[in-house]
Amino acid sequence: MFYYLDIIGTAAFAASGALAAMRKRLDFFGIFIIACVTAVGGGTLRDILLKVDIAWMRDMNYMYASIVATIFTMMFYRTVKTNSRTLAILDSIGLGVFTIAGIEKGIAGDFVPAICIALGTMSACFGGVIRDMLSNEIPIIFHKEIYATACIIGGVVYFVLWHFDFTHQVYTFAAAMTVVSVRLLSLHFDWQLPNIYGNK
């Protein structure tokens, strides 16, 4: 089940990358490039740090999912472009799934929980960083929005539920939904990290 969730997360990030590229009115090549690097960028960094095989280079299903999601997004762009929340929803789904993917790869590498959560956060956020930089935007992770913080909270939920002997399905699903929920709720209620610059 986790494998398919990973594929879904890849597709969600690809769609968010495609949307961002289309809002910048890039050509087909630009759309596909940004969609694909958004989809696999975080996982690539994670696998490089762990010195393991890069997932999308060994399993083409990740690239197939990215391509299909990109084509689907282009086909229905006129329908979804009027909904300003579409990109946020897709991005939040990707955040949740990739946070768990990074955590579980860290566990497989026998790292302590704090490092596993850091790996999960990097896995989830780095693709979006690349997307925003290529789109000439300041990456969301560097704003005062609740973004990486949502991944960290989800990681804490993961290990708390694991400590209390919940089943694997329960703590992975609960942690992923925590990330998605915190991110979407922060957007809805305009939750932000403290502003150190005052009101100016």
Q: What is the pLDDT of residues 58-96, one digit of tens each?
A: 999 999 999 999 999 999 887 776 666 777 888 888 899
Q: Which domain holds residue 48?
A: 2-188
pLDDT at 82: 63
pLDDT at 182: 95
Q: Within a domain: residue 194?
A: no
Distance separating alpha carbons of residues 198 and 10, to the nearest angstrom: 38
Q: Within a domain: residue 195?
A: no
Q: Within a domain: residue 57?
A: yes
Of the pLDDT bands very low, low, confident and very high (cuts 50, 70, 90), residue 26 is very high
pLDDT at 179: 96
pLDDT at 77: 82
pLDDT at 199: 61
DSSP code of residue 193: -
Q: Please state whether the predicted TM-score (pTM) of the whole model is above 0.85.
A: yes
pLDDT at 139: 86
Contacts of 75 (CB under 8 A, 6+ apart): none
Reduce the DSSP state of residue 72 to 3 states and report it. Answer: helix
Q: Greatest CA span in the chain, whole angstroms?
A: 50
Number of domains in the chain: 1
Q: Within a domain: residue 62?
A: yes
* pLDDT beyond 90 at 6: no
Of the pLDDT bands very low, low, confident and very high (cuts 50, 70, 90), residue 55 is confident
* pLDDT beyond 60 at 200: no
Distance separating alpha carbons of residues 16 and 50, to the nearest angstrom: 26
- Determine the average pLDDT of the residues in 41-47: 92
User: Which residue is it, tokens 């990074």?
Assistant: 102
Reduce the DSSP state of residue 145 to 3 states and report it. Answer: strand
